[in-house]
């Protein structure tokens, strides 16, 4: 038996040795920066870092602190939980954060100079979000309303059941007095939260303090169901007496309020009453007097989505896409003109400003060969200071290159995509081609050194393949007209864009037409399913959480309006468009070996779609496997199951593109454990 065991370990080691480049575990292990907050004086940055805990099978997020001239230290260590959402007090002496330390997610504060964290709340259902008052003295909380006595009695009498679309509790604003010096060592002195909003507000989904600290502007919607986002409005509550003034009250989404520095105006983003095309049309930036009145539109010439609003003495700031880049923009709040922001920051994920309104922390990927880092930046000039060096994690890795390429689609539309090539790419050779299709459809792909999820892109490139990630019609970054091109054209136009990209690479002498595969998750999974039943040019396909039948999807998803908006009809109004765009309509054409991956409890794309495609492929005699990841929803968010999903794809495409029989390792080796905690 001992000899057999050694043979198994040897076989596993040999399998892992067949994976070139960084190991799958090494990539999953990569630490990544998350939320960042700059201190009021601009000299320190609190931020989160996500790591991997293999033993507990979870991704662990903790708070770190960087100080100018001193470097970075880890501030929190929450056992079996995470610490998130670091925020500074107005005087910069205290740092608040949220952590689940065994009694739901609660608010903690600690001295910015260091020391033990002090627990501030003990709410039964925890705290969802918080903000320090700019004037000091108070903290606003976002938390669930308590479960009613009536609901408790019903459960005790009749057990667990619910009427569809009614099983929820609303979130509300609460406020607590904030004087941490009185709480140290005295749990009885912890402040008692006072509720600011009532049931008439619906559910609160976002909020912002006025600069004077006397009022809070908040976004509220009918209920917390995802389809109720289009009911969001904005109101202002006066903290002292809980008086509420409705500010924006109309159909469609109006939310994300931010105050002008003088407290006279509130800026927000809006769909301007649009409830029939807001999934793919641009939002708008507006401002409204804090006392009420008609809103004024700003940034009218910006043809993309607007997000991450901030308002400082230098103007209104937002983050927006520009093709495969993402920049910070500045708006003149009086005239509404968009002023180019800081250049040279690459792909920006987020920004937070210090008290001077110009010093900021920017989360950005500087170029195609770096990971996202934090930068201390003067947004009006000067050289940025890099606060983190997470890119050091990939130093020495065998990585290829990534570049933006473009080609004309079948209808003449110019499509861009990201092409990954091996480090030793030889233009005289043709390479196996893997097409990885992003979700959304309003997602976007951009050049990255280590693109990864359940698709082992860096390893395929190291193996000697090229990988194309197309920004098909509907993708973000290219303006509203481009995002609208797959309306009543889902699947069909998407396939034009993917296949024209494939043909472009074949024509350019890059891709080997005899060895090609395609895959994607969510909307990318839908397009992959559409390819499975409409073309035989690929050797293998992988469908991740993909839609196979728009009728099945429409009646079971948690975002019914998505289908109505893109297909401009219900199945009962126009069954023809549902047939035209559903992969199952052409299932009899399917010939391509297809792997199907799906989360057991997926509400966004329910598993009926996976089973329908699986059965249809079986009926046609097509090689297929369906893998259900137990306990998961629309995404695979635990490291072990993510590792499994990567191996499933590596094995599937290895078999059909390279003719390899790749078993998934059944025992851990020393190499497999490397980097885990």
- Residue 237 lies inside a defined structural domain of this protein: no
CA-nearest of 531, 533, 496, 503 to 517 is 531
198: confidence class by pLDDT, cuts 50, 70, 90: confident
Does 343 score more than 90 pLDDT? no
Task: Judge contact between 410 and 397, C-beta under 8 A.
Answer: no
CB 392 within 8 A of CB 435: no
Lowest-confidence region among 46-50, 378-382, 446-450, 574-578: 378-382
Per the CB < 8 A criterion, the answer to whether 105 and 128 are in contact is yes
Task: Return d(Cα 489, Cα 473) in angstroms, integer.
Answer: 10
C-alpha–C-alpha distance, residues 347 and 350, integer Å: 10
Question: Which is nearest to 75 in space by CA: 105, 44, 54, 47?
Answer: 47
Angle at alpha carbon of residue 306, lines to 300 and 308, rounded to 5°: 135
Give the pLDDT band (50/70/90) at residue 610. Answer: very high
- CA distance readout (Å), 555 to 97, 602, 607: 40, 14, 13
Percentage with pLDDT > 90 across the chain: 82
Q: Can you count the helices (H) and strands (E) in the chain?
A: 13, 36
In angstroms, the CA 470 to CA 70 distance is: 42
Predicted pLDDT of residue 138: 92
Picking from 112-116, 249-253, 413-417, 550-554, which range would have the lowest pLDDT averaged per residue?
112-116
* CATH code for the domain in which residue 425 is found: 3.40.50.1820
Task: Please report, for the domain that includes residue 121, its CATH number.
Answer: 2.120.10.30
Answer yes or no: is 285 within a domain.
no
179 domain residue, yes or no: yes
* Phi and psi angles of residue 615, each rounded to the nearest 5 degrees, phi first: -65, -40
471 occurs within a structural domain? yes
Full residue range of the structural domain in which residue 450 is found: 398-663
**Averaged pLDDT of the chain:** 92
The answer to whether 121 and 127 are in contact (CB under 8 A) is: yes
Q: What one-character-per-residue DSSP string does 446-505 give?
A: ---SS--SSS-HHHHHHHT-EEEEEE-TT-TTS-HHHHTTTTT-TTHHHHHHHHHHHHHH
> What are the helix (H) ranges across 539-638?
550-556, 560-567, 575-581, 608-619
Helix (H, G, I), strand (E, B) or coil at 246: strand
Provide the β-strand partners of residue 45.
38, 66
> What gap in Å lies between CA 445 and CA 475, rounded to an integer?
9
Tell me what pLDDT residue 669 has.
Answer: 47
Residue 10 predicted with pLDDT over 80: no
Centroid of chain to Cα 563: 21
Residue 470 has pLDDT above 70, yes or no: yes
Interhelix angle 523-532/608-619, rounded to 10 degrees, is 10
Residue 4 forms part of a structural domain:
no
Distances in whole angstroms, Cα of residue 154 to Cα of each of 145, 160, 163, 167, 540: 18, 9, 13, 13, 52
Residues contacting 577, CB < 8 A, separation 6+: 488, 567, 568, 569
Q: What confidence score (pLDDT) does residue 376 get?
A: 95
Q: State percent of the chain over pLDDT 70.
A: 95
CA gap 531, 495 in Å, rounded:
7
Strand 32-38 to 540-544 pairing? unpaired
**How far, in Å, CA of 416 to CA of 478, rounded?**
10
Residues 474, 440 contacting (CB under 8 angstroms) = yes
Q: Six-digit token pair at 321? A: 């896409």
- Residue at 107 is within a domain: yes
> What is the pLDDT, as a whole number, of residue 186?
52
pLDDT bucket at 6, cuts 50 / 70 / 90: very low
For 200, the token pair is 């008439």
d(CA 598, CA 49): 28
Q: What is the pLDDT of residues 495-544, one digit of tens each?
A: 999 999 999 999 999 999 999 999 999 999 999 999 999 999 999 999 99
Task: Write phi, then psi, for 656 (nearest 5 degrees).
Answer: -95, -20
Measuring CA to CA, how many Å separate 297 from each of 250, 269, 287, 333?
16, 10, 7, 10
Domain termination residue (choose one: 125, 160, 195) = 195
Question: Length of the chain in residues, anyone?
Answer: 677
**Site of tokens 């606003």:** 140
Q: 11 in helix, strand or coil?
A: helix
Residue 135: strand pairing partners: none
Asked, for residue 448, whether it belongs to a domain, the answer is: yes
Compute the CA torsion angle 444, 449, 453, 455 (nearest 10 deg).
Answer: 100
Rounded distance between C-alpha atoms, residue 255 and residue 217, angstroms? 10
Q: Name the residue among 519, 536, 465 with its Cα closest to residue 648.
A: 519
In a domain, residue 497? The reply is yes
CB 472 within 8 A of CB 441: yes
pLDDT in tens, 473-501: 999 999 999 999 999 999 999 999 999 99
473 touches 390 (CB < 8 A):
no
Please tell me the distance from the alpha carbon of residue 532 to that of residue 624, in angstroms, as a whole number: 11
Q: Is 594 helix (H, G, I), strand (E, B) or coil?
A: strand
Beta bridge partners of 316: 311, 331
Question: Whole-angstrom Cα distance, residue 145 to residue 509?
Answer: 61
> Strand order of the sheet with strand 244-248?
203-209, 215-221, 233-238, 244-248
Question: Domains in the chain: how many in total?
Answer: 2
Distance between CA atoms of 341 and 364, rounded to whole angstroms? 14
- Say how far apart CA 210 and CA 598 lie, in whole Å: 45
């Amino acid at each position: 038996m001992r000899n057999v065991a050694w043979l198994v370990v040897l076989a596993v080691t040999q399998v892992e040795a067949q994976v070139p480049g960084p190991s799958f575990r090494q990539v999953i292990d990569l630490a990544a920066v998350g939320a960042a907050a700059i201190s009021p004086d601009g000299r320190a940055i609190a931020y989160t870092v996500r790591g991997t805990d293999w033993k507990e099978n979870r991704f662990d997020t903790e708070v770190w602190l960087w100080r100018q001239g001193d470097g970075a230290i880890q501030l929190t260590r929450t056992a079996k939980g995470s610490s998130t959402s670091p925020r500074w007090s107005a005087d910069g002496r205290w740092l608040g954060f949220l952590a689940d330390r065994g009694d739901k997610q609660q608010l903690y504060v600690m001295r910015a100079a260091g020391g033990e964290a002090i627990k501030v709340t003990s709410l039964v259902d925890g705290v969802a979000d918080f903000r320090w008052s700019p004037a000091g003295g108070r903290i606003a909380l976002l938390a669930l309303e308590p479960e009613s006595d009536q609901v408790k009695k019903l459960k005790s009498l009749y057990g667990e059941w619910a009427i569809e679309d009614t099983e929820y509790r609303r979130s509300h604003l609460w406020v607590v007095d904030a004087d941490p010096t009185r709480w140290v060592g005295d749990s009885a002195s912890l402040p008692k939260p006072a509720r600011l909003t009532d049931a008439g507000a619906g559910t609160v989904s976002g909020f912002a303090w006025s600069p004077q600290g006397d009022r809070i502007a908040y976004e509220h919607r009918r209920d917390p169901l995802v389809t109720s986002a289009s009911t969001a409005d904005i109101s202002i509550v006066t903290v002292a007496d809980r008086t509420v003034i409705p500010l924006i009250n109309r159909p469609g989404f109006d939310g994300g309020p931010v105050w002008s520095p003088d407290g006279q105006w509130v800026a927000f983003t809006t769909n301007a009453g649009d409830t029939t095309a807001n999934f793919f049309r641009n939002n708008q930036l507006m401002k409204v007097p804090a006392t009420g009145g008609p809103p004024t539109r700003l940034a009218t010439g910006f043809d993309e989505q607007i997000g991450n609003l901030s308002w400082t003495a230098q103007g209104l700031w937002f983050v927006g896409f520009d093709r495969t880049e993402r920049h910070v923009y500045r708006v003149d709040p009086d005239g509404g003109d968009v002023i180019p922001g800081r250049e040279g920051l690459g792909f920006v994920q987020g920004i937070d400003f210090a008290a001077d309104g110009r010093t900021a922390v920017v989360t950005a990927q500087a170029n195609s060969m770096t990971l996202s880092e934090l930068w201390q930046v003067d947004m009006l000039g000067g050289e940025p200071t890099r606060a983190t060096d997470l890119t050091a994690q990939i130093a020495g890795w065998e990585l290829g290159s990534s570049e933006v390429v473009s080609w004309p689609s079948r209808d003449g539309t110019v499509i861009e995509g990201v092409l990954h090539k091996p480090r030793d790419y030889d233009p005289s050779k043709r390479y196996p081609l893997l097409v990885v299709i992003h979700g959304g459809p309003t997602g976007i792909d951009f050049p990255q050194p280590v693109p990864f999820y359940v698709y082992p892109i860096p390893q395929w490139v190291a193996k000697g393949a090229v990988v194309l990630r197309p920004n098909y019609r509907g993708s973000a970054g290219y303006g509203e007209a481009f995002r609208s091109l797959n309306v009543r054209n889902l699947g069909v136009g998407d396939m034009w864009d993917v296949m024209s990209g494939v043909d472009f690479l074949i024509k350019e002498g890059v891709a080997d037409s005899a060895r090609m595969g395609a895959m994607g998750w969510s909307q990318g999974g839908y397009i992959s399913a559409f390819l499975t039943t409409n073309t035989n040019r690929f050797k293998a396909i992988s469908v991740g959480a993909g839609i196979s039948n728009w009728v099945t999807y429409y009646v079971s998803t948690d975002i019914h309006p998505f289908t109505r908006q893109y297909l401009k009809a219900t199945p009962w109004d126009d069954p023809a468009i549902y047939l035209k765009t559903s992969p199952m309509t052409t299932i009899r054409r399917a010939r391509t070996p297809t792997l199907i991956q799906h989360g057991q409890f997926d509400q966004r794309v329910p598993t009926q779609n996976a089973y329908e495609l699986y059965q249809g492929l079986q009926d046609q005699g097509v090689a297929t496997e369906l893998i259900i990841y137990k306990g998961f929803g629309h995404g695979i968010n635990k490291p072990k199951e993510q590792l499994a999903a990567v191996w499933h794809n590596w094995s599937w495409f290895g078999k059909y593109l390279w003719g390899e029989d790749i078993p998934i390792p059944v025992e851990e080796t020393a190499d497999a454990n490397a980097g885990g905690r």
